Amino acid sequence: MTNAPEDQPNDRRTATNEFRTTENVPEDAEWEVVTQVPYDSSESDGLTTTIIYAVAEAEDVSPSDIKQPPLYEVVDTAALESALFGSGSSIQTSQCSTEFMYRGHRIVVQTNG
């Protein structure tokens, strides 16, 4: 995450838009793990499906209710899946993670090596 722009306060306040996307989250903000879902790239469900189901579980709603914003507008899950879990990826043999915000949730995708 990057620091808040100078015209925005750098404190623990958050702004939530209609899609529940949190902005201005300080780097030292404390996070609570709401759900944790394992992902197996050899199974038929893609990374997108796994993320949507995890968010639905965290919000206690049906996965079909997770429509806005579309996940593809927030992160390129195909590129992420290829980089972290694709065949020939050197990351597969090491531990690596990336994170992004979606619907007010901090989503962490990590490999276990």
Query: What are 6-50's pLDDT values in tens digits?
Result: 444 433 334 343 444 445 556 666 667 777 787 877 776 889 999
- Stretch among 36-40, 59-63, 80-84 having the lowest mean pLDDT: 36-40
Rounded CA-CA distance 100/71 in Å is 11
pTM (predicted TM-score)? 0.67
Q: What percent of the chain has pLDDT over 70?
A: 64
Euclidean distance between CA atoms 60 and 27, whole angstroms: 27
* Res 24: pLDDT: 57
Alpha-carbon Rg for the chain in angstroms: 15
Residue positions counted in the chain: 113
